[in-house]
Amino acid sequence: MTEKPGLPGSPFPPHLPQAIHTMSFDHRKYQPAVRPALNNRQWPSRTLDVAPDWCSVDLRDGNQALVEPMSVEQKLRLWDLLVKVGFKEIEVGFPSASQPDYDFVRALIEGDRIPDDVTIQVLVQSREALIARSFEALAGAKRAVVHVYNSTNPTQREKVFGLDKKGVKDIAIQGARWVRDYAAQHPQTQWSFQYSPESFSLTETDYAVEVCDAVIAEWRESGCPMIINLPATVECASPNVYADQVEYFCQTSRYREEYKVSLHTHNDRGCAVAAAELGVLAGADRVEGTLLGNGERTGNMDIVTMAMNLYSQGVDPCLNLSQMDEIIAVVEQCTNIPLHPRHPYAGDLVFTAFSGSHQDAIKKCMAIQEPNELWDVAYLPIDPADLGRSYEAVIRINSQSGKGGVSWVLENDYNLQLPRWMQIDASRKVQAKAEAMAGELSPEQIWAVFEQSYLACSSDNALCNFTLEQDASQNQGLDSLTLHFNYGRENVCLQGRGAGAISALTSAWQTRFGKHVEILDYSEHALHTGTDSQAMTYVLVSVDNQRYIGVARNKDIVGASLQAVINAAVQSKPSISAGTDQTEKTTEPAL
């Protein structure tokens, strides 16, 4: 039993196999992130009540993370989508490092494809030749942001560049001077300057302030708008730590009122959106990210999610995401990355309820939700219609679904208005089918289950014809019913009297078959509007204290009611020879 070399802590437990001892999965090789000393943090008590400035980096950061980078045609299609959604700042590439990126920037400018209210942005390292090439790519642009960066965190300072803090700060200062001087050579363009201390979240925060203030000192006399971008190039800590870093930066920077603070969070810990939201609370003005979160490793901050989070709280996100299916289609086509079905707000299944209790709650809330009221529907934080989704996609049926979901599908797809007892019975049958299939049922499959379970018996026990007459003088106001229906291979004639057609039928049924039929519940509705609409009838009956359900549809509401009672009562399997013999061997014409 030995300790792992170079790591602190207790030795490996003796009961573990030797193979486990040699594995590299050992938490002791890592150390927690260092957070700045911030004793009077303000961000926890603030509220996000206004959208930040958005900058899309889909065409640069998103593109460089693809296995197959986008073609110029794909970039132009994505560009058009970003403009349509409403982005006013779009990072369009790294033209000094990539000829396709350079060509794309030129295509935008020379093709006059940049709206007057949109500013393009390019990224460049703090090297003169690359900065010069970037300004060459931007020649003729009306407005542009030149985004210069260099790494500042201790690992890269010491292991990659072999420099001390002063050496790295000198790189940043010199890059700022080159950007300022080359911009002065192109006065026809309205320039903005942006600087990023790459891996800000891994850099000592006080040192990041020192470097960024030195950069701002070089730019502040230029008169050009300035942005300091604080990237979590690799997400290394919980979002609250990142928020502390941002707030510390904003509190201690000498020139904070002279520039915007921007954020660029990555999703290595799965918290990029949360980090950006807390970073804005901590004082940031601007957020960089991508549509649906594409980017290096686990991705960039997902602007769709953060914007919709604001929207769901009644805050205008200043982006139009109403055509979500179009956004998904374009992003998938340009990146060749399919969207996860559980992706927040955008996934195929996010507005879908499989759980029976969820479906029931959604159905009840939707039934009373008024168009002009504040949205208040269980399990749905936003109205799916706001994103161009239909309500038909909200509830889907599998083996976990309940009566609310089944009745929702049958109501919305087939206009059925099932009473509660009918919902319960139908859901059991649909659930059994879903369990047998071990999967989800489509609306068509749900209807097939309903039709086979309740309506197919109408053909076996079809009502052929009936007459209903009233003679007050002879029958004390009771109706007289004569009815023919098929029972197996026989044609049965029933005759009876009662207060209405159904009462007359139950009386005739007892006379003919010797079985007492009691109507426990009854419901009916038209399937459609208009004079040619069919009627749908549901009955719950008791036959000799056993309960049965009958369902029927007919162009005549009385015919539908009689057929539904027959469909229910025949399930008790009455004997054809019972009671008075009223059986006829001829088949009457059907209604």
What is the structure's pLDDT at 534? 87
466 and 447 in a common domain:
no
Say if residue 372 is in the same domain as residue 416: yes
* 19 part of a folded domain: no
Sheet holding 546-554, edge to edge: 517-526, 535-543, 546-554
Tokens 């071990």 — which residue? 438
For the chain, count helices (H), then strands (E): 20, 15
Residues 426 and 562 occupy one common structural domain = no
Residue type for 479, please?
Answer: D
pTM for the model stands at: 0.71
Residue 36 lies in a domain: no
The reply to whether 402 and 442 lie within a common domain is yes
492 in the same domain as 510: yes
Domain C-terminal end among 455, 477, 494:
455
What's the CATH number where 520 sits? 3.30.160.270
Contact 511, 522 (CB under 8 A): no
**Which 3 state secondary structure label does DSSP give 561?**
helix
Which helix H or strand E contains 95, and what residues bound it? none
Residue 487 covered by a domain: yes
Which two structure tokens, joined as six digits, stand for 518?
């009691």
Answer yes or no: do 218 and 100 share one domain. yes
User: Same domain for 445 and 465?
Assistant: no
Residue 20 maps to a domain: no
The answer to whether residues 398 and 428 belong to one domain is yes
Per-residue model confidence (pLDDT) at position 550:
93
Q: Are residues 60 and 163 in the same domain?
A: yes
Alpha carbon distances (Å) from 36 to 33, 168, 265, 342: 10, 21, 18, 36
Domain-embedded: residue 33: no
| Domain's final residue, options 455, 471, 503 | 455
User: In the numeric block, which tokens belong to residue 124?
Assistant: 């460049």
Between CA 540 and CA 35 the distance in angstroms is 68
Residue 18 within a domain: no
Residue-number span of the structural domain to which 190 is assigned: 48-335
pLDDT of residue 403: 55
Asked if the structure places residue 228 within a domain, the reply is yes
Same domain as 476, residue 429 = no
* Nearest Cα to Cα of residue 414 among 553, 563, 565, 557: 553
**Angstrom distance (rounded) from CA 232 to CA 272:** 9
Say yes or no: 448 and 473 in one domain: no
Measure the CA–CA gap between 519 and 548, rounded to whole angstroms: 10
Domain assignment present for 203: yes
Are both 439 and 517 inside the same structural domain? Answer: no
Phi/psi at 389 (5° precision): -95, 150
Give which of 171, 158, 168, 220 is closest to 193, Cα–Cα: 220
**pLDDT of amino acid 440:** 76
For residues 240 and 207, the answer to whether their CB atoms sit within 8 Å is no
Where a domain ends, among 286, 303, 335? 335
**The pLDDT of residue 389:** 82
Which domain CATH number covers 69?
3.20.20.70
Per the structure, how many domains does the chain have?
3
Per-residue pLDDT of the chain (591 residues; tens, 9 = 90+): 344 445 555 444 555 555 554 567 899 999 888 889 998 999 999 999 999 999 999 999 999 999 899 998 999 999 999 999 999 999 999 999 999 999 999 999 999 999 999 999 999 999 999 999 999 999 999 999 999 999 999 999 999 999 999 999 999 999 999 999 999 999 999 999 999 999 999 999 999 999 999 999 999 999 999 999 999 999 999 999 999 999 999 999 999 999 999 999 999 999 999 999 999 999 999 999 999 999 999 999 999 999 999 999 999 999 999 999 999 999 999 999 999 989 999 988 888 776 767 878 888 898 899 988 999 999 899 999 999 886 555 555 554 555 566 777 888 788 888 888 888 888 888 888 888 887 778 888 989 999 989 988 666 788 899 999 876 555 567 889 999 998 877 888 999 999 889 999 999 999 898 899 999 999 999 887 776 778 999 999 999 888 999 999 888 889 999 999 999 999 888 877 655 544 443 333 332
